[in-house]
A and B are shown apart, each in its own frame.
Chain A
């Protein structure tokens, strides 16, 4: 076995690397960020002297363990930080580092590309001052900045409470936490959530801490619009009792949980299936993360599971890879890891019900609402295209006709909403309208990246 490459420096990637190193290999670990840790265990700039207890809370210990694990590995792997993988073709990764294009051939590939925010359009959601929930956390953890001085946390996500608490502890004033899922749905999801009592307890603790801090938590609200002319001035909602309210604020952190970043998996040959719980297309893998010949997926990019599941699934993928290359792996350890990953991912399915993707908001979206922020395509344009004679009923065709998903982000952010809008407009089940296909580059690359390459 020569070239084993791991893409992603979060808990899944680092853990996979450690298993491979223990087996005597020297994997290449390609990380888009400068530092490992992924999004969750992101390492703040040392000069900021941020309080890790505030940023990581109960997870500070795990944060330290992951970073010290990596410190022990760094000399024993081929680490490529600040390197974007923008394409995969014929078992070669195409990279961009310091503005220069490069290639990394591989014999086996472990993708741990993580997840990103899942967004539902809302009138004025593109106003300056509106941040995705994950983005708001990154700004705080990476730069020690706050997105505003009076903030509404809006959407439905287990991260909503956590992020609000982090911001509160960092000195921001929290105008409200507005969760669109009714509390009754959370109670109904308890049985699945009990699969990880520790995580559940943490969620309850966050809620209590916010409550004690006097921060209003509004459950079961319907967001109506972001208010403001040139900048966010407030959030308009209808609360659970049907009253319309305006919550003044100067920033909004908005999100509906996470969606796996599966672009590289698709380019590397993974197949996809529709998952009705998440209402997303997820890559098909076996229990250990095998997604195709010499292709392994782990962490949130395979299925949302959180940091602990990422670590365990990273280890599993590395074990699977070693086994496939003829090195028998310890069965008891595999069984333990599979059980752990299974339990944590079941827990996430419970969370997906407790913090629901707001399907019912889609029909209520006004035609003027922007769905695709890169290309400024409105919900009405999408509906109009679908309903026209010979109108498209499949999202890639809708993209071709309307430009929705054709811009800088290539549908990474508008894709899930586009599926819902198209399904709604043509009255088809969402699984039948398809998913946006990936093409390289998965993120934009400048022309000059090719300048120094031999033709």
Chain B
């Protein structure tokens, strides 16, 4: 059966669902196709940080646009996803890390964020549970958290209510150009003619890109995470060590959620991202360093996800280099949750207006035609072999 629509979105994660919602809000016909279940991959299992501090300098306009959408999410989707303006505490263990925080703070401030510098004494006074090792911190009150398990599904539902069509358990088998538009075929026998295609298929996005003669050196990895049993609520902000060895937050019901580098290997073909116990133990030790009062807390569960990474630790966002009407948004390198809604807004600009005021040039897929920049994070945030590991699909 052949259907006609304006836009087909491939991939029902955070970006895909938000794009569907924002397009539907503009009154455009949209079909969202998800190979599995909406929001069940890395969009649904990430740490849930809406961190503004310490982002890549070129990402601030996008991040701030995104945060404005997050701050309004209850109204935008008519549902709640545990969005909380928790604040974000970035802690430094030594002078070098403190200097780095100062650098981050200046970039943040140049974009209008309010960053508090916290010395050792004030750190202990305001957050008495912090252990001896952190020597300084910066605090950003606008940073927030949300529950990733709930968000994408709730956004997709809101899009559905505005007549967006959501096809779950449906694989795109072919996409090709037909005249001025595209024909999308699925394993369920759908043939969809459309004007534009959004490729937001996460760690699986290369299949679509390569069908149109372009690619990116994306590989898959995941964040090792764990959660403790519920404990009395004490840790209000989301907390992060500068070196990424510990990133944690406590939800109001009491569980402490933890993520920490190095990241772990993930297999997008088998759809598995097991957490090696050694990484869990490392994380447990790192968490105890910053929050010693948790030493008797019990870890009850670990998990990870399958995220697409690129060597310069920046995503691909923007129109295809080979094919007008095809828009990419993938490879978010483990920091897509915060920017997700903003990226969707940018995609809608590009699809509807043909342009966007939000600077996105540094995210173009064209950058991989030249020598690929390699971020110094690649050495710090991954085990050696993980990088060479599984190529994303």
Contact = CB atoms under 8 A, between A and B. Distances in A.
B301 A406 contact: yes
A407 B296 CA distance: 17
A388 B157 contact: yes
Contacts of A89: 274, 276-278
Interface string A153-165: 0000000000000
Interface string B148-167: 01100100110010000010
Nearest to B256: A447
Contacts of B73: none
A86 B166 CA distance: 40
A444 interface: yes
B96 interface: no
B298 A408 contact: yes
Contacts, number: 95
Interface residues of B, number: 37
Interface stretch (B87-95, B191-199, B284-292, B376-384): B284-292
A408 B282 CA distance: 21
Interface in B303-329: 303
Interface in A74-129: 86-87, 89-90, 92, 94, 101
A440 B40 contact: no
Interface stretch (A8-16, A292-300, A389-397, A418-426): A389-397
Contacts of B374: none
A401 B45 CA distance: 11
Contacts of B278: 89
Contact of A451 (B44, B229, B288): B288
B297 interface: yes
A448 B298 contact: no
A444 B287 CA distance: 16
Tell me which of A101, A397, A450, A453 has the highest count of chain B C-beta atoms within 10 A of its own C-beta: A450
A145 interface: no
Given A397-B37, A447-B294, A390 B166 contact: yes
A216 B288 CA distance: 55
A445 interface: yes
A455 B275 contact: no
Interface string B205-221: 00000000000000000
Contact of B300 (A94, A388, A408): A408
A401 B150 contact: yes
Interface in B240-297: 274-278, 280-282, 284-285, 287-288, 294-297
B44 A400 contact: yes
B38 A390 contact: yes
B381 to A, nearest CB: 16
Given A439-B275, A453-B281, A455-B285, A446 B297 contact: yes
B80 to A, nearest CB: 13
A380 B276 CA distance: 36
B275 A394 contact: no
Given A406-B301, A440-B280, A441-B302, A400 B40 contact: yes
Contacts of A453: 281, 285
Given A440-B280, A450-B281, A390 B294 contact: no
A358 B287 CA distance: 44
A440 B300 CA distance: 8
Contact of B149 (A86, A94, A400): A400
Interface in B160-183: 160, 166, 168
Contacts of A444: 229, 298-300
Nearest to A92: B277
Interface string A369-402: 0000000000000000000111010100100110
Contacts of B280: 87, 440-441
Interface string B54-94: 00000000000000000000000000000000000000000
A89 B168 CA distance: 33
A447 B38 contact: no
Contact of B284 (A87, A90, A397, A447): A447
A103 to B, nearest CB: 8
A248 B166 CA distance: 53
Contacts of A388: 157
A31 interface: no
B339 to A, nearest CB: 22
Contacts of A397: 37, 40
Contacts of A86: 277
Contact of B295 (A401, A407, A447): A447
A410 B295 contact: no
Contact of B303 (A439, A445, A451): A439
Contacts of A19: none
A455 B301 CA distance: 21
Contacts of B282: 450, 455
A21 interface: no
Given A397-B37, A400-B40, A401-B153, A448 B288 contact: yes
A265 to B, nearest CB: 15
Contacts of A389: 157, 160
B169 to A, nearest CB: 10
Contacts of A449: 281, 284
A92 B275 CA distance: 14
A392 B37 contact: yes
B284 A450 contact: yes
Contact of B299 (A90, A400, A401, A441): A441
Interface string A412-449: 00000000000000000000000000011100111111
A27 to B, nearest CB: 22
A90 B160 contact: no
A394 B282 CA distance: 32
Contacts of A94: 277, 281
B261 to A, nearest CB: 13
Nearest to A448: B295
Contacts of B157: 388-390
Nearest to B304: A439
B275 A440 contact: yes
A267 to B, nearest CB: 9
B276 A90 contact: yes
Contact of A447 (B44, B156, B299): B299
Contacts of A455: 282, 285
A410 B160 contact: no
Given A390-B157, A390-B168, A439-B303, A451 B285 contact: yes
Contacts of B296: 446-448
A410 B301 contact: yes
A26 to B, nearest CB: 25
Contacts of A400: 40, 44-45, 149
Given A86-B277, A441-B302, 5 more contacts: A87-B277, A439-B302, A441-B300, A447-B297, A448-B288
Interface of A: 86-87, 89-90, 92, 94, 101, 388-390, 392, 394, 397, 400-401, 406-408, 410, 439-441, 444-451, 453, 455
19 contacts: A89-B274, A101-B281, A390-B153, A390-B157, A390-B160, A397-B37, A440-B277, A441-B277, A441-B302, A446-B296, A447-B284, A447-B285, A447-B288, A447-B294, A447-B298, A449-B281, A450-B282, A451-B295, A453-B281
Interface of B: 37-38, 40, 44-45, 149-150, 153, 156-157, 160, 166, 168, 228-229, 274-278, 280-282, 284-285, 287-288, 294-303
